[in-house]
Structure 1
Amino acid sequence: MSVSKTSEKMTEPLVVRALDVDTWPAFARLVEANSGVWGGCWCMGFHVKLGKGRTAADNRAEKEQRVAEGRTHAALVLAGDDCLGWCQFGSPEELPEVKSRRLYEKGLTVLPDWRITCFFTGKGLRRRGVADAALGGALVEIARLGGGTVEGYPEETDDRTVSGSFLHTGPMAAFENHGFTRTRPISPHRWVVTRTVDPA
């Protein structure tokens, strides 16, 4: 009996590695297999405003350049040579675009050292703990890079069912499982959550 590629991925142990020039090919394969992610975003939507005239090819080229220059960060979840998903993080300077900006800025007193902005898990690879593993890996990498205050912006799903497409900023449960505290709401169901990470 043949075993599908997806089935093989589901049985291999998960390993978390940073996005860099060595892991870029695995990241790129996953993005390409999922139509560029969110309509060709290539995980650029928190770096820059994605507007008219900007193509998926533009996003891919700039993402690869940022990886080569060390100006973008993500914790990739790998099974063998295949990337299953990731968690993007970075400084506010690196990731200036946030959701619900008006309410976010209204309650802002001081910028965090780090932002955790988005998550992605490939089609057919969900319900394996990829988001949780990616978030844990991001926190380890943040500690290695000096630690500090960390913000996330997850969607709260306590009393409702939400499509996975709305959870690109991460599920609340994953953040709370990793010690984040709800700080303030910035939309009916989205919160700023925070925690401090000690340097490694």
Structure 2
Amino acid sequence: MLRTAFDAVFRQDLALRRGPGGVRVVLKRADGGAEPPPTPEELERRRQHAELRAARDELTGLLDEDHTARSTMRHLAVVEHALGRLGWQALERVPLDVLQRALEQFEERVSNWSARGLACLRSRMAVAVAERLRREGPPSGEAAAALDSPPDVARQAIDRARVTAAVAEPEVTEAGDDDEAQALLAAYGSLVEPPPGR
């Protein structure tokens, strides 16, 4: 076992690889090709992706704990949906008043922040709210009020979203088999600004 470890570390063939950062020494694979180590940019991209996945998975788990959570915490459900569609950009695209209310709901719901994904999401949401308040000023509150609407108004919005989802957004159906859930997701999607260039 010690000999195998020694061979793996000290008897590898080395190669020089020229790249944007200059010339680097890389280990050659057993088949003769060189396996370049990941770049700092690639490592950062992987870290960001892992953080996003953990945050979204833990938020989904939190909202799945109670079957009424998505209807009572609509603002937080909008953030969950937007994170799935836009990644961390969602914190810039969700209307500021909705993001503020989602952060309040999040902090009311969670008392133990030991889950790293939830703690990371809370931190990022708080920073995004503070930065956007500084940049944009106080929000009008219209988007958050639309989510706080009485049940009959919400039902009409869901019905309109169901029709829109059936025609314009077929990818929404992957979220679940329940028509109402799909319509809610479509309604949430209509609150989120699409990224530039789409």
TM-score calculated relative to the size of structure 2: 0.25
- Structure number with higher strand proportion: 1
TM-score calculated relative to the size of structure 1: 0.25
Higher alpha-carbon Rg? 2
